[in-house]
Each structure stands twice: as C-alpha cells, then as structure tokens.
Structure 1
Amino acid sequence: MAATPAADPAADPVAAAKAAAPASGETVRVDSWIWSVRLVKTRSMGATACRGGHVRVNGERVKPAYAVRVGDEVRLRHADRERIVIVKRVIRKRVGPPVAAECYVDNSPPPPPREAVAPAGIRDRGTGRPTKRDRRELERLRGLGTPE
C-alpha cells in the first residue's frame, strides 16, 4: 500500500513540523531550538553561543537549558550578524529549511553588503610562480607597494 502525500512528513511541511513538535507539556531547550530551526549548524554551537552570551531571549542572556516558548523573541549574534526571530512554533527535531522558516518570524536586519573586491591578478592555472615583475604588479594592484 503506497503512502499518501498528506501522510508523508517530507511532502507536507506542516505535518513535518507537527512531527518534530514536543509532546504536550514538554519544553524545548533554547540551544536545541536554534539548531532545529537552522540558525546554527550544530546543537553544540548553539550551546556554546548561549554560554558565550550571544543568545538572548526577551532581552536577557540565557543558558543553553533555558526553555523556549511560543512568542519569545530570540536574538542570536552569529557569524558577524545579529538574527532576531520571534518563536511561532516550538520544535525539538531538526527539519528542512522550508519547514524551519515556518517556525519563526524573522525580524533580522538585512545582512551588510559584501564589499566589492576586484580580483587582484588572476593567473592561468599551471603557469608556475609569479615572477618578480608579476609580484610587483600584484602588490601595486592591491595597494601594498610603494608609489613609484
């Protein structure tokens, strides 16, 4: 007997989120939740961020075991960026990105634009080491050399 698409958690994001939700009365740790909704790569990175003071819930620094509830504002400083999210759904298992995005409201400021860096002397593969002339030209392009 084939499984129907509605019964398959991978096909239905809402079903996947419900499957990852804790049982009634259970709470979810903040380090586990920020990992589950893909704000950090590993749960241990979430715990380390909490211990380092990089995670705040409703404006207060929290320990990794702090219980997250629906409606909490979670602020995470990670990778030179601050993420501000409001908890919409509490889950305990890691889910895919589309499902994870439904578990919070993202109020984060947009990431800073990447600085446009001109490629400084791209060499053909296999041409060997740069000559002294090539090196001076690269330094001049990068602005490291003395003005001549």
Structure 2
Amino acid sequence: MDDERQRLDKWLWFARVAKTRSLAARLVVEGHVRLNAKRIETPAKPVGPGDVLTIALEQQVRILKVLAPGTRRGGYPEAKLLFDELTPGVQRLE
C-alpha cells in the first residue's frame, strides 16, 4: 500500500468519525459504510484522496470526501483536514 492510501478503519478513527479504532472497524463490518457508493464490510479496505464515504451513524448519515490519509489521531482541527464534509445541510468549519 502506498503512502496515499490507508486502511478504512484507521482513517475513520483518525478523522474522528468513531471514538475507537475497534468501533470504526465495527461500523464497517456491520455494513454502515459505503465507499464510492459500494457497501464495504472489510475494515482493511484501502481509502485515499478522492474517495467518497457514506457513513450511517446512529443519529445521521454523513458523506465525507477523503482529502488525505491520517498520520495520527489528533484533535478536531487536525482531523477536519483529512476530509471535505459533503453532507447536505452541514457546513464545514474553517
């Protein structure tokens, strides 16, 4: 895997979509994540810049465009640099 791609569960955790990496993996395994409109059930599936994720969470459905792989799980200001929020009605904070 090259530097531009990263495991889906790890990316979801770095982007602060899930509180833990195991919860991120569970989201994927249980079928709550679509990668470029295709249902994904493998947490190790590589994602990279340009990919679009549709994530069904408990209270909402989020649509995120991957901008970059993560290097660590930082705070929200760092995490928001990894994606572009495409969810209708949600403004991306700058």
**What TM-score, normalized to structure 2?**
0.85
Distance 1:45 1:53 in 2: 13
C-alpha displacement of 1:109: 2.9
**What TM-score, normalized to structure 1?**
0.55
Alignment match of 2:69 (pick from 74, 90, 94): 90
Aligned length: 88
Q: Which ranges in structure 2 are unaligned for 5 or more consecutive residues? A: none
Aligned to 2:24: 46
Q: Which ranges in structure 1 are unaligned for 5 or more consecutive residues? A: 1-23, 112-148
Identity, % of aligned positions: 33
Distance 1:82 1:28 in 2: 22
- The letter of the residue matching 2:46 is A
| Cα-Cα RMSD | 1.6
Aligned to 2:55: 76
Distance 1:57 1:92 in 2: 21
| More moved, 40-49 vs 24-33 | 24-33
Q: Deviations over 1:79-106 (max 9, x none)?
A: 2210100001111421210011111100
- Select the structure that is richer in strand: 2
- The letter of the residue matching 1:52 is E
- The letter of the residue matching 2:66 is V
Q: Does 1:32 align with 2:10?
A: yes
Aligned to 2:88: 109
With CA pairs under 8 Å and 6+ residues apart, which has the higher RCO, 1 or 2? 2
